[in-house]
Amino acid sequence: MGQGVHMQELPGIGKRYDIDLGSATQRVSVVVRRGDIRDLYVFTSKGDEPTAVLELSREQALKLGAVLTGTFFEG
Protein backbone atom coordinates (compact mmCIF):
# COMPACT_ATOMS: atom_id res chain seq x y z
CA MET A 1 0.00 0.00 0.00
CA GLY A 2 3.09 2.24 0.13
CA GLN A 3 2.83 3.09 -3.55
CA GLY A 4 1.14 6.37 -4.24
CA VAL A 5 1.72 7.81 -0.77
CA HIS A 6 4.68 10.06 -0.05
CA MET A 7 5.57 10.76 3.56
CA GLN A 8 7.67 13.66 4.71
CA GLU A 9 8.83 14.50 8.23
CA LEU A 10 7.96 18.02 9.30
CA PRO A 11 10.44 18.67 12.11
CA GLY A 12 8.69 19.93 15.21
CA ILE A 13 5.26 19.53 13.66
CA GLY A 14 4.66 15.91 12.68
CA LYS A 15 4.35 14.01 9.43
CA ARG A 16 2.89 14.96 6.12
CA TYR A 17 1.40 12.38 3.78
CA ASP A 18 0.73 13.19 0.15
CA ILE A 19 -1.64 10.81 -1.56
CA ASP A 20 -1.22 10.64 -5.29
CA LEU A 21 -4.54 10.61 -7.09
CA GLY A 22 -3.04 10.08 -10.52
CA SER A 23 -4.08 13.53 -11.60
CA ALA A 24 -2.17 16.69 -12.40
CA THR A 25 -4.71 18.81 -10.58
CA GLN A 26 -6.22 16.64 -7.83
CA ARG A 27 -4.23 15.87 -4.73
CA VAL A 28 -4.87 15.26 -1.09
CA SER A 29 -2.47 15.69 1.81
CA VAL A 30 -2.78 14.86 5.48
CA VAL A 31 -0.61 16.42 8.15
CA VAL A 32 -0.59 14.28 11.30
CA ARG A 33 0.46 16.70 13.98
CA ARG A 34 1.86 15.79 17.34
CA GLY A 35 -1.07 15.78 19.70
CA ASP A 36 -3.02 13.82 17.10
CA ILE A 37 -4.67 16.68 15.23
CA ARG A 38 -4.89 15.80 11.55
CA ASP A 39 -5.13 18.47 8.90
CA LEU A 40 -6.70 17.43 5.62
CA TYR A 41 -5.70 19.44 2.57
CA VAL A 42 -7.64 18.97 -0.64
CA PHE A 43 -6.23 20.33 -3.89
CA THR A 44 -8.49 20.34 -6.92
CA SER A 45 -6.69 22.85 -9.10
CA LYS A 46 -3.12 23.44 -10.16
CA GLY A 47 -0.93 25.37 -7.79
CA ASP A 48 0.08 25.20 -4.18
CA GLU A 49 -3.06 26.67 -2.67
CA PRO A 50 -5.40 24.05 -1.24
CA THR A 51 -9.03 24.25 -2.27
CA ALA A 52 -10.17 23.19 1.18
CA VAL A 53 -8.53 22.63 4.53
CA LEU A 54 -10.11 20.74 7.42
CA GLU A 55 -8.77 20.34 10.93
CA LEU A 56 -9.80 16.97 12.32
CA SER A 57 -9.51 15.62 15.82
CA ARG A 58 -8.23 12.06 16.12
CA GLU A 59 -11.79 10.81 16.61
CA GLN A 60 -13.09 12.69 13.58
CA ALA A 61 -10.19 11.41 11.46
CA LEU A 62 -10.96 7.85 12.59
CA LYS A 63 -14.61 8.23 11.57
CA LEU A 64 -13.77 9.63 8.16
CA GLY A 65 -11.11 6.94 7.71
CA ALA A 66 -13.57 4.20 8.63
CA VAL A 67 -16.10 5.46 6.10
CA LEU A 68 -13.43 5.67 3.39
CA THR A 69 -12.09 2.18 4.05
CA GLY A 70 -15.54 0.65 4.32
CA THR A 71 -15.05 -0.40 7.93
CA PHE A 72 -17.67 1.92 9.34
CA PHE A 73 -20.71 0.33 10.91
CA GLU A 74 -23.58 2.06 12.63
CA GLY A 75 -22.88 1.90 16.32
Could you list the residues that contact a second copy (CB under 8 A)? 1-5, 7, 17, 19, 21-22, 26, 28, 30, 32, 38, 40, 42, 44, 51-56, 59-75
Q: Which lies closer to a second copy via its Cβ, residue 5 or residue 10?
A: 5
- Minimal distance, residue 41 CB to a second copy, in Å: 9
Q: Where are the alpha helices (DSSP H) in 1-75?
A: 58-69
**Cα distances (angstroms) measured from residue 64 to each of 11, 47, 54, 69, 74:** 26, 26, 12, 9, 13
Q: Which lies closer to a second copy via its Cβ, residue 12 or residue 43?
A: 43
Query: Cα separation of 72 and 63, whole Å?
Result: 7
